[in-house]
Chain A
Amino acid sequence: MRPIIRSSLALAILAAALSAAAAPQNRGGVPDLRGIWQAEVTANVNLEGHAAQAGIPAAKSAIVSPSSGRIPYKPDAVARRRENFARRAEADPQTKCFQAGVPRATYAGAPFQIFQTSDRVVIVYQDVHAYRIIFTDGRPHYEGIEFYMGDSRGRWEAGTFVVDARNFMAGTWLDMAGNYHSEALHVVERYTRTGPASMTYEATIEDPNVFTAPWTIRIPLRRLTAPDAQILEDQCVEDANGLPRHVPPFKNR
């Protein structure tokens, strides 16, 4: 009898410890998203999944809805994606050091850091030092201003940080394969902590000019836990030919 009680107590303690680990709470009682995060997938190559290519392993689609894993393009919008793909080496805005836009900044390759204060969440992306200021105080979206990184409002739904991003500029892409959007893009992001160093990122993408229905991607994020982890400077400068290129912030490299 006694050992059973002891073990069930131990189990209860373990369960409590595990759930605390699963969803760290910030002081304000909301999930603690702070830290430096990085996508663990190659979705930036192609959200729809892709074959292996030089230096990049094959990957399954990041799209969880629809279940086909395919982006539900309107029939008259697919051609543009094909043209983008054909010209991607020079046409991808990322190669020109544009701010990546949303949700691409999340999986564009470089880490990003989340800060939380009482009335806003700030995300700083290493990629071209783009940042987002996400208000959590219930204020409305801006009227008549478009943003490369969107106009974001956040709220807490139980263990999930939900961000409603709209007022986008057309012109950024969703990945290197030429998947794109118009200025009617509307993204709802969901950030859910799943462990001490892990988080699930989901984004539902809606754009009636380009897609027949909303669709959803899911990206696992890993927290960089090294004590000296740091977002490094990623500055894009023009080379002698006027072409932008990333410059690493270290000498002689």
Chain B
Amino acid sequence: MRLRFFSCFAAVALAGLAHAAQAPLRAPRLADGRPDLQGIWQSSGNTGAFNLEEHPAAYGTPAGASVIVDPPDGKLPYLPGMREKAVENSKNRWRDPVGRCNPHGAPRFVLPPFPFMIVQDREYVVFLSETSHDVRIIPMDGRPHVKDYWAWEGDSRGRWESDTLVIDVTGFNGKTWLDQAGNFVDENLRVVERFTMTGPDTIAYEATVDDPTVYARPWTIRATLRRAPKDVELLEYACLEGERDAPHYPK
């Protein structure tokens, strides 16, 4: 893990040096000096939407490497008996909550091949996903979490650690899946996300997932977000509008 981290870091540093020959590698900044993360972003170069863990190709699923960087083996550190539940989920994918218009939740929302927009307005950062018109409004003013919150998206609080946007998310209802393979969480979930611009058009995304009733230890995924081409804008997503699947699901 440590090795991989350093080599990744070194690659970024090298890219920065190479770039510095022409212009210093600088992320755009807002008037208040904070990094300007605004724009439309999409994760790329991973198949984490299908399965966070390493997986072979299967019907409708491309093969892919694990997006889990900790633990170093890239495997979800399920508590005894919990992986069986994920396997059961994977055999019943119709149960995937996003198939019924429910939010992806963190960290899944960054992984699907749909774009999302970041808006920064002084004391707020807002994520607008095109998928299911999901929204996360993230206060940056240090207010405490909402008490007894129990929601698909959880309750997000943000802060800056140097140039990294750090978001602490609690108050989940625990019903979300982490991917299409049925990897899951429960309501004791806590996610800490880190967004760091590594260039004008790239963000290093990292999420540490802690759920002591499902996993033996916290674990971390990493993904690269790329800025969408200039003419891309979010349009609209409709899900419950015209929904006709529900009666056909197994009871």
Chain A interface residues (CB < 8 Å from chain B):
27, 34, 93, 96-99, 113, 115-117, 120, 122, 124, 128-131, 133, 142, 145, 147-149, 169, 171, 227-228, 230-233, 235-238, 240, 242, 244, 249-251
Contact = CB atoms under 8 A, between A and B. Distances in A.
A93 B139 CA distance: 31
Contacts of B139: 230
Interface stretch (B75-83, B121-129, B204-212): B121-129
B101 A148 contact: no
Nearest to B139: A230
B117 A249 contact: no
B241 interface: yes
Given A122-B119, A235-B102, A238-B246, A230 B137 contact: yes
Classify the interface of chain B: helix, strand, loop or mixed: loop
B97 to A, nearest CB: 8
Given A115-B124, A235-B152, A129 B135 contact: yes
Interface in B207-251: 233-236, 238, 240-241, 243, 246-247, 249, 251
B96 interface: no
B143 interface: yes
A131 B135 contact: yes
19 contacts: A98-B241, A115-B126, A130-B133, A133-B128, A145-B236, A148-B236, A148-B238, A169-B241, A228-B143, A230-B137, A230-B139, A232-B151, A233-B151, A235-B102, A236-B240, A240-B251, A249-B150, A249-B171, A251-B150
A244 B133 contact: no
A142 B146 CA distance: 39
A165 to B, nearest CB: 13
Given A122-B128, A148-B236, A251 B148 contact: yes
A111 to B, nearest CB: 12
B128 A131 contact: yes
A240 B251 CA distance: 8
Contacts of A169: 241
A249 to B, nearest CB: 4
A169 B241 CA distance: 11
A133 B117 contact: yes
